[in-house]
Structure 1
């Protein structure tokens, strides 16, 4: 759901130049006053705002106004920041007063366009390439060739006069039926094909060319749907009658009174881009497929996808022996249509505004130019409490099925270029119907509308009568109301408006306000069920989907009672302007600015992003946006009393104005007429004053709420700054935080000491077994002890140790040392001749050199030192182990 951030900004409010785009001039207000007491205008759709980028075209009465919203916003903000609020109050001393008070409205970014229309403009329809603008009154259609924006940026008080063409000067006139819808064909070459639908169910296709004036005078194709509904063969004449329309009563004229028509988007799949959906006021829905101009430019994927589906249909009918003759005829007609298309060599036409080149085809003539009228559609699962006889449709909005590019590109190496949203969505066409009571009916085309033609004329008249084809049906998925019973107006005309952020969301403009509707909650879940391979429990899941929460809807704007009707909402998303919805009454704009939709889309499609953004702290909103209050029109409307007095002075009762008042029938008649005029004005003024009084009371309540919220915010600030206590000295926030940290540290130290005490008590109170590491360590200590001190097993008889123990080796070394010392002493004594029995001269063989003796002694001492160090190290290790 879009979240409203603010309503009409200052650059669209009075006295800014942006407000002059919507306010009514003096001529228009006097004309509306005259209409009020004269012939009442016929109700119809009011689409008086068209968009071209940041530029908008607004129809007010018979005039057309142009404005660049981005320029108006920037210039207003610049002047507001420079001059300040005081300079705007004292405008007579300001140099910028001419921008607000000049009669001709000579302001940059704003211009008045003069039109040749003779009645109030009802609808503005922008062409796909934004170079033509269709201007519709109740009965006439005018085509405006839009100039470049550079020609409109000029400070000129004179109205701008662009090139206008009258479409069908002998066709769309006041003596003929009213024009209900004007649609630019999605497959027209560079957006030059226009389809008009009149109230008497006549569809005309116009292929416009600025180089040929004749293209604006006659339509290339005209189809009378009433004749086509009763047609039996292709050879019949279904063109509209050139003579004046028959005003007599006929059942077809009553049942086939057109309320609205619609084309799906160009990037839709299947036959959708060439299918015209027509909604009748009585509640019936018809489809006309294929409806094409003489020259048409399909998207790159349209013809290949249709070729695949037609070939599959022909193969299925040929392989099915039980296929009906009607199915075989339809498959053959579609094959003839595609064969005619395949035999053509497309003409390459340069695209407009830097787009890719277009392949232009001629409309196939086989099996026929005029298709079969499919309908009226029956509504399956229609609510039982709904009375179809009482439903009066006002508008239709069709969302085409998604392009099935996966089947088309199966087995292909190259990938087609496509938009981000192309190929995503629902594989069924969604038809949305809107009635006078504000009821919205969401229907699904389960069977799928395909191209159909009437059968050819048979040569044998004696052919038996064939049964008519089965009646097509639409599945009613959901029905809901957007208006309360007290808000329903019989003369109201609700309208659909598309949403640029999503193809499955739209806006509904009705007399009571604007409602936002989104089909996204169930569209993608339903598509997952349709594409799923598992059929187990599919019926149960779809039943839960249908009975669960359906479309999201929210009233985003409520119109005050007694105000003029709203223009169809125009949704705009621009980097400079933001995301907002623009509408207008007869005097004032209505704008609703939303939060950036990209964030909402990311949160909707990514669950992880939802979790990440959910933890972010959101700032508190100290105020809630509310609609701008406009003064009721009755307080600004000119009184009709002076006009009535002028008529009285020049009428047949003028002698009464110059004589004394007398009681007579003529005087009573004059007073009765005057009372009617005054009573109508007094009632509207009373309602306006009551509305103003209620608004003043509401403002008082809102002011109290604002004061309460301001007090709450002040208390929070005082608590943060430490100024919440008046008796005690103020304490800074830093000191409060430090004191809190100190208390936390003390508490942590206390808990740590208690935990250590408990651990010690627990270790003393419980005895547990040794772990594997502790057991291994004890075995190592015992082994070292036995290796040094010896063990009882070594002293047993018959035990042979594998290696000498260190203490045994130590004893052996000591004995060797003593023996060596004894030998050394004996040799020394024999050398010195201390003994009597020693020979006088020793024998040469027993003499040991001094160097050898010293070396041997050094070796013995080294060995003794090593053994001593080894014994000391072992003793030290044992002492450490015993201490540990």
Structure 2
């Protein structure tokens, strides 16, 4: 859930000029046509029971309905002008009051003149941003929006826009009212064409593919379906068009069981969604039953890059899973129809069009004609469990689609551009239903909805699929607040969050709530789509997950006046304006500003360097970080003066004076006042009117006094906290400090420590980036080695031949062939030792009678450096120590060689040469072994 960092921006709050965008000092136009002279003011808005969507946004542009007029404003321009006037210190509205009001209105917003007489209940901007759907209770008008450059002209006079009425003979007052007007997410939209879907309470679904150059497309829908007829249909060749105007209709139970309250599409037409979601229309009935129409497509539609592969994979896998011996004939024929429908799309040659917003090319395809353009009505889906006898009344519905598993979808494709770790697959559909009692029911559909059609006429072997109720898996019921006393006027509606997945905004009569299912859905999806084998703890984890908190709720807005009715909000996400939720009433706007940065992030805090994690895991890890105490400061909406302070107190008296008959009106205005029953009645009514205004002013003034007192107390507390904080900062910013031993040392300032931490972080990031690039280059395939690397490999091979390492041909053994150079040197040492031993034995035999003790000593001294004591694995230090110990042992017997005629000096030189040779060879062997070990570690 996003973090709230502020409320209504100051450039939209009173007394700034931006607040006048949403208020109208003039009386509102009537909600229904009336020519009676006694009509005073509009009908109460609480008499209307239905959705109120009076705000729409296009980037930073806002469209709002005030009275029965549509106003346009660019919030970025409004903010910049307000900042300029505030910083300059000079008011640009220093005129008389009437002139200032006129100048303010002209410079802030612009009125769009549209020929709509009845009260506007909903407005909706097309995804292309070129059309605006204006809906009353029974009629729909399509307005062609001007270019933003034309709306931003200095001339702020009312601008007349081109408007077309949709179906003037279809959507009329005697017919059933409208409940939903939806732009098709997969429609092929151009500068003059688009697709709109309207749903009425009498279960009539109409697909309008209008073209402003073709007036006939605005009179008749391209596809019209009566859901009550379709529910009882047996063949796709039947006529399912709704009955015409004025035709008699018989009684049916469906008049009550299939009374539509809301409708929505199962997806937004994104690439990571299930392919069937964007073409599935979900319809919610008043009694809680849900139905689905899939696929519902216009005659020309625009698929995403994953739609066609996903449809083909689903159809082929369903055909492959059918067993002729065990599968029911109805299921087999349904799979055949789905395969036929997908095959027609595959065989069609797609039309390539260039995008108008410079996003590249896209495909446009025609809707398949077989089996039929009208799908079968699937359902009813029941959200209430069978064992529960609770009856609910639905006011709105929203569906979160299943997420695609791109790893399975593109398995086997050699496409390096496909990043399979960004989208976490979610194998189920999440359905949210709101009730007038301010409850929200959450359920999931594990099977999903795919395309289905009725059989063709004459094929009796194919029966109508069963239409038994299918129960959805109910996961949670959230009660937002106490049920309102006026449940007839309360009609909660959903608004999807354009920034975060699995997040909703629910608007009731007096409050706006934020609902987030992201954490629960992502964790459950990860458990259900795990690639590892199912372990024994899966059931336990799923049970724990299902009993944990499903939805995180937070109240965002609450109306200040009891007579105010909130409109469904508009959510704006712009880099210059911020992440803003904006709603309004007849008395002014309400706004909530969210933090655009990820939750729990910090400038110098620890950063996640594992870039291999998916976006879902990354957001989960960021959400688990500890939040700084500075960021947990409680926020409160700023005080806004009540409307009674700005209300024109002369309006009630003027309206009362206008309703008086001519004679009393002259009596109180032209003639002297005389006491009479008529005058007493006028004075009594005037006193009641002024008394109500006085009571409201007293309550508003008392509330202002209480807020001032609370502000004074809170300000004193804030001053105390700031004093304590200043003392702590002074201790932190001290230049020196004493350690435990009493020594004074220099202490680093917080700025120095922050700079050092930033430098360490930048160095770590640079080091990580260098290692990542190095590993990427080392792991890349089919890359030729450089000349330096080839020379290094040649040097290693030569050294291996000289030293002796594991060869490629004999890699299974631990050691390979030894080098010839070192082997020859070692053999020379061994031969030298053997020759010395033989000479010692010969000398012993010749001098045995003369010195019996000499030869054994000489043998011992020479054998100490024999071949048995010198091995290739010995280091030079070990060989040196062995030789020196042997020489030390032989030194007392050196006098025995004097009888042989060999001088002692020659003997010592010979022994010294042998010792030097042994040390040199040992050092060479040790150096070679160390280098070999280092090379093996590098490999």
TM-score (norm 1): 0.75
* CA distance in structure 1 between the partners assigned to 2:95 and 2:257 by the alignment: 65
User: C-alpha displacement at 1:719, in angstroms?
Assistant: 6.0
* CA distance in structure 1 between the partners assigned to 2:310 and 2:688 by the alignment: 65
Aligned to 2:772: none
Aligned to 1:219: 221
User: C-alpha displacement at 1:58, in angstroms?
Assistant: 1.4
Counterpart among 379, 384, 409 of residue 375 in structure 1: 379
Question: What secondary structure is seen at the aligned counterpart in 2 of 1:393?
Answer: coil
Worse overlay, 600-609 or 125-134:
600-609
Q: Does the aligned pair in 2 maintain the 1:396–1:433 contact within 8 Å?
A: yes
Q: Does the aligned pair in 2 maintain the 1:425–1:523 contact within 8 Å?
A: no
Unaligned runs of 5+ in 1: 723-731, 747-796, 813-858, 864-884
Q: Does the aligned pair in 2 maintain the 1:632–1:688 contact within 8 Å?
A: no
* CA distance in structure 2 between the partners assigned to 1:321 and 1:31 by the alignment: 64
Q: Does the aligned pair in 2 maintain the 1:433–1:441 contact within 8 Å?
A: yes
Counterpart among 255, 258, 264 of residue 257 in structure 2: 255
* CA distance in structure 1 between the partners assigned to 2:294 and 2:334 by the alignment: 13
Change (3 A) 1:40 1:549: closer
Aligned to 1:80: 86
Change (3 A) 1:339 1:809: closer
Aligned to 2:350: 346
The answer as to 2:554 corresponding to 1:560 is: no
Deviations along 1:462-512, whole A, 9 cap, x unmatched?
A: x99978444333211111111223576430121111112222111111123
Aligned to 1:48: 54
Aligned to 2:211: 209
Change (3 A) 1:611 1:128: closer
Aligned to 1:149: 148
* CA distance in structure 2 between the partners assigned to 1:464 and 1:397 by the alignment: 34
Q: Does the aligned pair in 1 maintain the 2:288–2:394 contact within 8 Å?
A: yes
Q: Does the aligned pair in 2 maintain the 1:521–1:552 contact within 8 Å?
A: no
Q: Does the aligned pair in 1 maintain the 2:235–2:455 contact within 8 Å?
A: yes
Aligned to 1:717: 726
* CA distance in structure 1 between the partners assigned to 2:711 and 2:387 by the alignment: 42
Aligned to 1:312: 317
Aligned to 2:402: 401
Change (3 A) 1:534 1:553: same
* CA distance in structure 2 between the partners assigned to 1:313 and 1:39 by the alignment: 51
Aligned to 2:837: none
* CA distance in structure 2 between the partners assigned to 1:706 and 1:119 by the alignment: 50
1:192-207 paired onto structure 2 within 5 Å: 192-207=194-209
Deviations along 1:717-742, whole A, 9 cap, x unmatched?
A: 246558xxxxxxxxx9748x445676
Deviations along 1:835-866, whole A, 9 cap, x unmatched?
A: xxxxxxxxxxxxxxxxxxxxxxxx9xxx9xxx
Question: How many pairs align?
Answer: 741
Change (3 A) 1:367 1:568: same
Change (3 A) 1:408 1:733: closer
Q: Does the aligned pair in 2 maintain the 1:169–1:217 contact within 8 Å?
A: yes
Aligned to 2:336: 332
Worse overlay, 263-272 or 633-642:
633-642
* CA distance in structure 2 between the partners assigned to 1:466 and 1:617 by the alignment: 61
Change (3 A) 1:644 1:469: same
Question: What secondary structure is seen at the aligned counterpart in 2 of 1:105?
Answer: helix
* CA distance in structure 1 between the partners assigned to 2:545 and 2:621 by the alignment: 25
* CA distance in structure 2 between the partners assigned to 1:650 and 1:69 by the alignment: 48
Aligned to 2:236: 234
Q: Does the aligned pair in 2 maintain the 1:104–1:158 contact within 8 Å?
A: no
Change (3 A) 1:547 1:654: farther
Question: What secondary structure is seen at the aligned counterpart in 1 of 2:383?
Answer: strand
The answer as to 2:510 corresponding to 1:499 is: no
Question: What secondary structure is seen at the aligned counterpart in 2 of 1:59?
Answer: strand
Aligned to 2:539: 539
Question: What secondary structure is seen at the aligned counterpart in 2 of 1:452?
Answer: coil
Deviations along 1:12-45, whole A, 9 cap, x unmatched?
A: 1234332222112414289899355689742221
Change (3 A) 1:223 1:324: same
The answer as to 2:91 corresponding to 1:92 is: no
Deviations along 1:734-791, whole A, 9 cap, x unmatched?
A: 48x4456763679xxxxxxxxxxxxxxxxxxxxxxxxxxxxxxxxxxxxxxxxxxxxx
* CA distance in structure 2 between the partners assigned to 1:611 and 1:140 by the alignment: 46
Aligned to 1:631: 642
Q: Does the aligned pair in 2 maintain the 1:258–1:280 contact within 8 Å?
A: yes
Aligned to 1:303: 308
* CA distance in structure 2 between the partners assigned to 1:608 and 1:241 by the alignment: 52
Change (3 A) 1:695 1:387: farther
Deviations along 1:70-124, whole A, 9 cap, x unmatched?
A: 22212221221122xxx34x95379xx99953258332x6322111110232212
Q: Does the aligned pair in 2 maintain the 1:190–1:351 contact within 8 Å?
A: no
Change (3 A) 1:464 1:523: closer
Q: Does the aligned pair in 2 maintain the 1:374–1:472 contact within 8 Å?
A: no
The answer as to 2:284 corresponding to 1:293 is: no
Q: Does the aligned pair in 1 maintain the 2:57–2:571 contact within 8 Å?
A: no
Counterpart among 704, 713, 721 of residue 713 in structure 2: 704
1:416-495 paired onto structure 2 within 5 Å: 423-458=423-458, 468-486=466-484, 489-495=487-493
Deviations along 1:505-525, whole A, 9 cap, x unmatched?
A: 111111232111111121111
TM-score (norm 2): 0.70
Change (3 A) 1:798 1:307: closer
Superposition CA RMSD, Å:
4.3
1:825-844 paired onto structure 2 within 5 Å: none
1:711-860 paired onto structure 2 within 5 Å: 711-718=720-727, 721=730, 734=734, 737-738=736-737, 743=742
Q: Does the aligned pair in 1 maintain the 2:128–2:189 contact within 8 Å?
A: yes
* CA distance in structure 2 between the partners assigned to 1:216 and 1:42 by the alignment: 27
Deviations along 1:562-614, whole A, 9 cap, x unmatched?
A: 04111212222211111121111113111111222334599984499659964
Q: Does the aligned pair in 1 maintain the 2:287–2:394 contact within 8 Å?
A: yes
User: C-alpha displacement at 1:535, in angstroms?
Assistant: 4.6
Aligned to 1:879: none
* CA distance in structure 2 between the partners assigned to 1:47 and 1:280 by the alignment: 20
Question: What secondary structure is seen at the aligned counterpart in 2 of 1:365?
Answer: coil
Counterpart among 261, 274, 278 of residue 279 in structure 2: 274
Question: What secondary structure is seen at the aligned counterpart in 1 of 2:211?
Answer: coil
* CA distance in structure 2 between the partners assigned to 1:247 and 1:220 by the alignment: 24
Worse overlay, 231-240 or 695-704:
695-704
* CA distance in structure 1 between the partners assigned to 2:583 and 2:301 by the alignment: 34
Deviations along 1:148-176, whole A, 9 cap, x unmatched?
A: 11111112142112221111122222232
Aligned to 2:870: none
Unaligned runs of 5+ in 2: 33-38, 602-606, 609-615, 746-851, 862-886, 896-904, 910-939
User: C-alpha displacement at 1:629, in angstroms?
Assistant: 2.2
Aligned to 1:188: 187
1:62-81 paired onto structure 2 within 5 Å: 62-81=68-87
Change (3 A) 1:332 1:671: farther
